[in-house]
Chains A and B, each alone.
Chain A
């Protein structure tokens, strides 16, 4: 068995907490503390929160909106009046970027969670019921893996062009769930042999409730991490589609369509390119940092969770763990 001082350190801290406060620290509190210890993840969280405020609240304090052009400042460089400069038509780049961020944030959050939800349901059902359900669902997983998602979404683009942009969310999710579903299926298969699942089954609990109450909560860490990574995936998918004009249609804008416009002149007016690219890269960096922090906090075997208990405490625990023990009491098999 592998031995991890960092995980042990947390238990030490948790126990110390119990002694001090005389209150039980649940796993949630433990995970939260380990997450808050990760500086990168905190920065990521703050950045995403600021982007939310900027994207949805900037219209309250910022003079320009993304549709009204300023005819006195065509292709103006960044200034105090126009923070990110203006476009050829005099539209304000800051307002445009914030409008694009709104799309990216919504598509990322809803799409990421939706993708993981689909994967969890498909994987758990396939693993739990087995037999025909497993065969049919696994076949669909294989099929969707062979269909390149970007190609399929592009082919469908003439169909969803006339619709509202929200249609992109389920479509992006529909082509991104497969690999997670495979992992969930494998995890479900291992959970299925465990006593608590058998017990629930023998007590006559219906299958869907076992999946919801016993199987999915047991793989929650995996699902949470996966959802965060899928946020980044969904954002990239939408921006890629919009870059080619297959995603969000004018007059509405997305970071992808802004980058497409900005890249058409590389040697001049670079603010048209740098700011949307910057928004996108910072958003994705922040989301990835949150994902890393969550992985370290949720996975006790990860080495990323830094130790905070004093070195002496850890060494004492290690010695205790490695010290030869008395004979293990024999377990009577009934």
Chain B
């Protein structure tokens, strides 16, 4: 098992290094960070701009491979570089990973579990009311890009708060009072209230997406011989479906689930911007606006590591669930 996972990890690691490098090189090739200074009034002298950019390893006069080499050697020293604004990339990244994790952790868990449960249940009760309702709902959600869904949820929140005269559904920011102590009870309740809408905007999409796959794989399994055998040896229908059927049907979906961590991250970009959460996704968009190579490359590394983790998780899940993979 360990040797197998190690082999797969080396494969992923290789792809991740390439992905991070491509992100850096593309950004370094396309971006013109000097525009940030040239747009100022009065325009700073070119020499000053050059000094600033050289300090950030973003001066376009330096050959791109030299800049890349500098960036890589910085990485080996744990140095992600400096942002256009002058703060350290690593410091900003640490804070924003916290925000993104608080946003995505709950959404990932609810989205994955919800998708699997809805899919399995829809397959077991094919063409019944629940199946038809969930199919209809997922078709509608498929037709809504995540930002449309998020904005419509915000409109609903505005209407709901007006109608009930409360502020139960918060539709911006992560927390009302950023200076409140983190682990106090009122603060946790407040954070939870801020989480409802962003979480809903992410989970509805993933539940719709996963449940379709889970339903299809489960339907394949429902007619299979081994399920009939399980029934024949005396298991009840529920036991047979969950112990033998669902376990097999989850395997292909599990790979999809773990890889959608990346999809979720891009989806979260929209959610973070719309609900004003200052996480990795928002950072990515603002960094592109500022043509900030170092920050964009940091997001690239972060995403690559997510891919690595997703690959690892999907391998472990497959090994754990699939009786045919014995190592």
Whether chains A and B associate is yes
Kindly identify which residue among A158, A236, A282 contacts B145, using a CB–CB cutoff of 8 Å. A236
The stretch among A11-19, A140-148, A197-205, A314-322 that forms the contact with chain B is: A140-148
The stretch among A80-88, A90-98, A109-117, A262-270 that forms the contact with chain B is: A262-270
Interface string of B299-323 (1 = CB under 8 A from A): 1100110010000000000000000
**Can you name 15 A-B residue pairings with CB atoms under 8 Å?**
A143-B22, A146-B304, A147-B19, A148-B303, A151-B23, A151-B299, A152-B23, A232-B143, A240-B270, A243-B147, A266-B154, A273-B155, A281-B143, A284-B143, A284-B145
Q: Any chain A CB within 8 A of the CB of B325? A: no
Query: Do B18 and A277 have beta carbons less than 8 Å apart?
Result: no
Q: Any chain B CB within 8 A of the CB of A222? A: no
In the bound complex, residues from chain A placing their C-beta under 8 Å from that of B117 are none
The stretch among B26-34, B79-87, B182-190 that forms the contact with chain A is: B26-34
Known A143-B18, A244-B285; judge A148-B144 contact (CB<8 A).
Answer: no
Closest to A157 in B: B288
Kindly identify which residue among B140, B266, B273, B274 contacts A151, using a CB–CB cutoff of 8 Å. B266
Cα separation A31 to B272 with both chains bound (whole Å): 45
A154 to B: closest C-beta gap in Å:
5
Query: Do B147 and A259 have beta carbons less than 8 Å apart?
Result: yes
Residues of A participating in the B interface, judged by any CB pair closer than 8 Å: 142-143, 146-148, 150-152, 154-159, 232, 236, 239-240, 243-244, 246, 259, 263, 266-267, 270, 273, 277, 280-282, 284-285, 288
Kindly identify which residue among B15, B155, B299, B300 contacts A266, using a CB–CB cutoff of 8 Å. B155
B110 to A: closest C-beta gap in Å:
22
Closest to B140 in A: A285
Q: Any chain A CB within 8 A of the CB of B148? A: yes
In the bound complex, residues from chain A placing their C-beta under 8 Å from that of B140 are 285
In the bound complex, residues from chain A placing their C-beta under 8 Å from that of B265 are 148
In the bound complex, residues from chain A placing their C-beta under 8 Å from that of B296 are 155
Cα separation A175 to B307 with both chains bound (whole Å): 17
Kindly identify which residue among A232, A263, A284 contacts B151, using a CB–CB cutoff of 8 Å. A263
Cα separation A282 to B16 with both chains bound (whole Å): 38
Closest to B28 in A: A155
Known A146-B304, A280-B148; judge A288-B143 contact (CB<8 A).
Answer: yes
Cα separation A40 to B162 with both chains bound (whole Å): 37
Closest to B12 in A: A146
Closest to A245 in B: B289
Query: Do A158 and B143 have beta carbons less than 8 Å apart?
Result: no
In the bound complex, residues from chain B placing their C-beta under 8 Å from that of A246 are 288
Query: Do A158 and B148 have beta carbons less than 8 Å apart?
Result: no
In the bound complex, residues from chain B placing their C-beta under 8 Å from that of A232 are 142-143
Q: Any chain A CB within 8 A of the CB of B294? A: no
In the bound complex, residues from chain B placing their C-beta under 8 Å from that of A155 are 23, 26-27, 30, 288, 296
Cα separation A281 to B149 with both chains bound (whole Å): 10
Query: Do A158 and B155 have beta carbons less than 8 Å apart?
Result: no
In the bound complex, residues from chain B placing their C-beta under 8 Å from that of A150 are 266, 269
The 8 closest A-B pairs by CB, nearest first: A284-B143, A285-B143, A159-B30, A150-B266, A146-B19, A263-B151, A146-B15, A236-B145
A175 to B: closest C-beta gap in Å:
11
Cα separation A150 to B288 with both chains bound (whole Å): 12
Cα separation A263 to B171 with both chains bound (whole Å): 12
Chain B 9-58 residues near chain A, CB threshold 8 A: 15-16, 18-19, 22-23, 26-27, 30-32
Kindly identify which residue among A147, A273, A288 contacts B139, using a CB–CB cutoff of 8 Å. A288
In the bound complex, residues from chain B placing their C-beta under 8 Å from that of A142 are 15
Further contacts, 7 of them, CB under 8 A, given A147-B22, A266-B154, A288-B142? A146-B18, A146-B304, A151-B300, A152-B23, A243-B270, A267-B162, A288-B143
Cα separation A164 to B35 with both chains bound (whole Å): 22
In the bound complex, residues from chain B placing their C-beta under 8 Å from that of A270 are 155
Cα separation A155 to B295 with both chains bound (whole Å): 12
Q: Any chain A CB within 8 A of the CB of B108? A: no
Kindly identify which residue among B143, B151, B291 contacts A259, using a CB–CB cutoff of 8 Å. B151
Query: Do B151 and A273 have beta carbons less than 8 Å apart?
Result: yes
Query: Do A263 and B270 have beta carbons less than 8 Å apart?
Result: no
Cα separation A121 to B3 with both chains bound (whole Å): 36
A68 to B: closest C-beta gap in Å:
28
In the bound complex, residues from chain A placing their C-beta under 8 Å from that of B30 are 155-156, 158-159
Known A244-B285, A263-B154; judge A239-B266 contact (CB<8 A).
Answer: no
Closest to B35 in A: A158
Cα separation A17 to B149 with both chains bound (whole Å): 47
In the bound complex, residues from chain B placing their C-beta under 8 Å from that of A273 are 151, 155
